A and B are shown apart, each in its own frame.
Chain A
Amino acid sequence: MSKANLLWLQSGGCGGCSMSLLNAESPNLIATLENAGINLLWHPSLSEQTGTEVQQLLEQILADEIPLDLLCIEGSMLRGPAGTGRFHLLGGTGIAMIEWVRQLAAKARYTLAIGTCAAFGGISSSSDNITDATGLQFEGELRGGLLGSDYVSRNDMPVINVAGCPTHPDWVTETLMQLVLDQPQRADFDAFSRPRLYTDQLVHHGCNRNEYYEYKASAEQPGDLGCMMEHMGCLGTQAHADCNTRLWNGNGSCTRAGHACINCTAPEFEEPRQSFVVTPKIAGIPVGLPTDMPKAWFVALASLSKAATPERLRENARSEQLIYPPTLHKKNHK
């Protein structure tokens, strides 16, 4: 079986999704690609070729001399200033990166946006978006983006949005494996074209603050042990990702590190309603309910569970350290 050729290019982003990708473990990144039958044509951080060698490679792809199976684009597409794309001309070529991406996407069997910048515009499109940054096929929640809503790759698929800021290494490698080893259908991707491999879960699932959540025992300051939804801006109950069941860098996740989930896999996460670290409220009730929860029931259950909060959870929630461990139950031998 011939190997699947992968080309990776970076534009208006931070390179963090590539750096995260290098964190792949058991097996490591290079072994994972090899095991999946993926041939790395070129990656800016990893490959030997530089300068003219890279330019020749790109030209050969455009001339159909080398098949391009997997085109991975990391970073936003910068259309400015005034549509020229000059905010990023690919080094050595004097040609705007958006132009290279348009042409290469026409040759790719699958086109992948790696990270929220490439998928939706992301951080680079914040505030006034002075660089006119966009995603490959979405601009925020709206379809369109650089390639337009009608774009499909040679395998008749829209751009696959491996969103996240950054992406978990497994989100990228598992999506690549799925494309190479299986024949995924459009139904394998959600309404934002994200792989359901990891977006069919919520960050809330597996959060080790769930007992505090159940009783609405809330953290008030960074480092407190309680649930961060009520005061600290945590969006884990709405964020589509498996961060707390998969975990990062061994044992980590945002909520485990005492800070809010900011829903970084979602379009427009970069512009929160108020602040990333403060929960917006109306009449004391957090705006933005847990996913699929009817509002009246949430309010009723929240007030009931608050009334039932055990002292252990109420006190621990507002402390960095465990004050009360769970009570030990003994069988009552008389």
Chain B
Amino acid sequence: MSDSNQSPRRLQVGPFNRVEGDLDIRLEVAVQDGHNRVVSAHVNSTLFRGFEQILVGKPAMDALVYTPRICGICSVAQSVACARALADASGIQPTANGLLAQNLLLANESLTDLLTHFYLFFMPDLARPVYAGRDWYAPVQQRFQAVKGAASQQVLPARASFLHLMGLMAGHWPHTLALQPGGSSKPVTKQERLRLISLLADFRRFLEQILFGDDLDAINELTSIQALENWQQQDDWQSSDLRRFLMLSQQLQFDQLGRATDWLMSVGNYPSTQPLNNGPQVDSGVWVPRAGVQPLDIAAIHEDVSHSWVEDSGSPLHPAQGQTHVSLHSSEKPGAYSWCKAPRLNGRVVETGALARAVVSQRPLATELMQQQGATVHSRMLAKLLELAWTLPRMQQWARDLQPGDTFCDHSSLRKDGEGVGLIEAARGSLGHWIKLKNGKISHYQIIAPTTWNFSPRDQQGQPGALEQALVGAPVLDGEQDPIAVQHIVRSFDPCMVCTVH
């Protein structure tokens, strides 16, 4: 409630950059407890392209050309979800090498995204002039300033070298056609496997020396908040970028910023190959406040379009039945303010991403953070960094497990008719593709991307989406047109707007 007599001030923030794609946020700001705060937010995904319509009528295998092009930053994630949906529709199991290749490619993209997000999208906000009076400002600006900062000169070459995995295993990134329902079209040779092992070790060295300032094994052994704090104090705050983040996060109270519903979802990721398909290495489930991790019921997902510029379909539909019809008429729909639909799980607003994966997989530090502070700018960002440390040693193992000489692809033909679903975790969270095939062609295609969950508009019940809730309470400084706290909160989700609407 506003304790001022003035009506709320309205701010329109956009174009919102250092997110993938374009974003526009409408904020109502009012005085609360003597401070200007956001009292309501409307998040508008401003771009519509229509992939779900483009795909209908296309030959089934051609989906593998179109779907990666939904997104230039989650391209392989879209390919893997599509390949899984096609495989599911046809009862195809990837070979062991095929699964390892898919895991390696997906992890290569995800870790690249986490790294790019931290250094190029999130941290430059801490180098903004708004913080110029802080005693830590000079070195932070020198390191993280957009384009000019010293970190980008280290990160860009490391990122490009890490992506040589794509050159070896997928031809290029983004937009490879190597991912197949039965595995991969690129059999890795003996010499290429050795090169993979070498380049992964090289990226590990970068993470250890520059990002973490310690062995990844030591980082992965930090299983409580206390252990993390002890580790942090063992060295100067400028000894690594993780320590820099931890210090800045404390200074700016990121643990009190950007809390949404605290319901978290993961659909699971990285199928095991030993033995084949023995459950995923990242778990599927839902974190429910106070109740803990519960099973995830995919059938309970529905997409609400009451506030989207999409033709109404009556009640919210499960994506296996979902529709996406747009027109001049729908673009003028009363009450609508975004091209994004509003997916809900049993009617609930849930959040998805690296924090959700860690919490649902019951990693102790993430669980303790969730119990102590919930999903905040701090816990979201920390979970992303810790996922880099968690995943890279697994990639090294997958590369060693590759068996040159064995097949990388099951070549069983697709069924002409069928339906399937592909569920994976992209860097930003849960991604689902729902497909139907009729006479060898695609008759139905629906996609729910991670940011569709996180940045959804309101639903029929008037429930704001996760970001819309997370922004409420954000402080607005005097004279701010593009509030810095809002920028931290938005970017803590690592949104991908081109995936959101597709």
Residues of A within 8 A of B (CB): 10-20, 22-25, 28-31, 40, 42, 44-55, 76, 78, 81-82, 84, 86-93, 123-124, 126-128, 130-131, 133, 165-166, 221-223, 247-260, 262, 264, 272, 274-278, 320-321
Contact indicator A45/B17 (Cβ below 8 Å): yes
Contact indicator B164/A250 (Cβ below 8 Å): yes
What are the nearest 9 A-B pairs in CB distance? Answer: A16-B72, A92-B14, A91-B14, A257-B171, A252-B167, A249-B167, A248-B172, A222-B185, A258-B185
Against A, the Cβ 8 Å flags (1 = close, 0 = not) of B290-329 are 0000000000000000000100000000000000001110
Contact partners of A259 in chain B: CB under 8 A = 171, 176-178, 185-186
Against A, the Cβ 8 Å flags (1 = close, 0 = not) of B387-406 are 00000000000000000110
Contact partners of B331 in chain A: CB under 8 A = 81, 84, 86-87
Tell me whether A52 and B177 are in contact in the complex, defined as CB-CB below 8 angstroms, given that A44-B15, A257-B169 are known contacts.
Answer: no
Contact partners of B171 in chain A: CB under 8 A = 248, 252-257, 259
Question: B47 contacts which of A11, A166, A260, A320 (Cβ < 8 Å)?
Answer: A11
Contact indicator A50/B153 (Cβ below 8 Å): no
Main SS at interface, chain A: loop
Contact partners of B73 in chain A: CB under 8 A = 15-16, 19
Contact indicator B157/A165 (Cβ below 8 Å): no
- Shortest CB-to-CB span from A71 to chain B, Å, is 16
- Shortest CB-to-CB span from A174 to chain B, Å, is 17
Contact partners of A55 in chain B: CB under 8 A = 15
Question: A223 contacts which of B44, B166, B187 (Cβ < 8 Å)?
Answer: B187
A40 to B148, CA, bound (A): 11
Closest to B129 in A: A48
The answer, yes or no, to whether B159 is at the interface (CB within 8 Å) is: yes
- Shortest CB-to-CB span from A169 to chain B, Å, is 9
Tell me whether A130 and B326 are in contact in the complex, defined as CB-CB below 8 angstroms, given that A46-B147, A51-B13 are known contacts.
Answer: yes
The answer, yes or no, to whether B20 is at the interface (CB within 8 Å) is: yes
A155 to B347, CA, bound (A): 56
Question: B65 contacts which of A22, A253, A276 (Cβ < 8 Å)?
Answer: A276
Contact partners of A277 in chain B: CB under 8 A = 61-62, 64-65, 177
- Shortest CB-to-CB span from B375 to chain A, Å, is 23
Contact indicator A30/B22 (Cβ below 8 Å): no
Contact indicator A28/B71 (Cβ below 8 Å): no
Contact partners of A133 in chain B: CB under 8 A = 49
25 A–B contacts from the bound complex (CB under 8 Å): A19-B73, A19-B173, A29-B156, A44-B17, A45-B20, A48-B124, A48-B127, A48-B147, A51-B15, A76-B49, A81-B326, A86-B331, A90-B22, A91-B23, A92-B15, A223-B408, A248-B167, A249-B166, A249-B173, A250-B168, A258-B187, A259-B186, A264-B175, A276-B62, A320-B408
Contact partners of A82 in chain B: CB under 8 A = 328
Residues of B within 8 A of A (CB): 12-18, 20-24, 44, 46-50, 53-59, 61-62, 64-66, 69-73, 75, 116, 120-121, 124, 127-128, 145-147, 152-153, 156-157, 159-161, 163-178, 180, 184-187, 309, 326-328, 331, 339, 404-405, 407-409, 411, 481-482, 487, 498
A17 to B124, CA, bound (A): 22
Contact partners of B56 in chain A: CB under 8 A = 127
Closest to A127 in B: B54
Question: A14 contacts which of B50, B59, B72 (Cβ < 8 Å)?
Answer: B72
A214 to B472, CA, bound (A): 66
Contact partners of B177 in chain A: CB under 8 A = 254, 257, 259-260, 262, 276-277
Question: A52 contacts which of B57, B156, B482 (Cβ < 8 Å)?
Answer: B482
Contact indicator A223/B24 (Cβ below 8 Å): no
Contact indicator A25/B157 (Cβ below 8 Å): yes
Closest to B147 in A: A46
Contact indicator B16/A91 (Cβ below 8 Å): yes
Contact indicator A93/B15 (Cβ below 8 Å): yes
Closest to A221 in B: B411
Contact partners of B47 in chain A: CB under 8 A = 11-12, 78, 87-88
Question: B21 contacts which of A10, A123, A252 (Cβ < 8 Å)?
Answer: A10
Contact partners of B185 in chain A: CB under 8 A = 222-223, 257-259
Taking each of B64, B169, B178, which has the highest tally of chain A beta carbons within 10 Å of its own beta carbon? B178
A128 to B58, CA, bound (A): 12
Contact indicator B17/A50 (Cβ below 8 Å): yes
Contact indicator A92/B172 (Cβ below 8 Å): no
Contact partners of B176 in chain A: CB under 8 A = 254, 257, 259
If A54-B17, A247-B167 are given as contacts, then 18 extra A-B residue pairs at C-beta distance below 8 Å, sorted by A number, are A11-B22, A13-B72, A14-B498, A16-B71, A23-B173, A45-B17, A48-B128, A48-B145, A87-B48, A166-B172, A166-B175, A221-B411, A223-B184, A249-B167, A251-B167, A257-B176, A259-B176, A321-B187
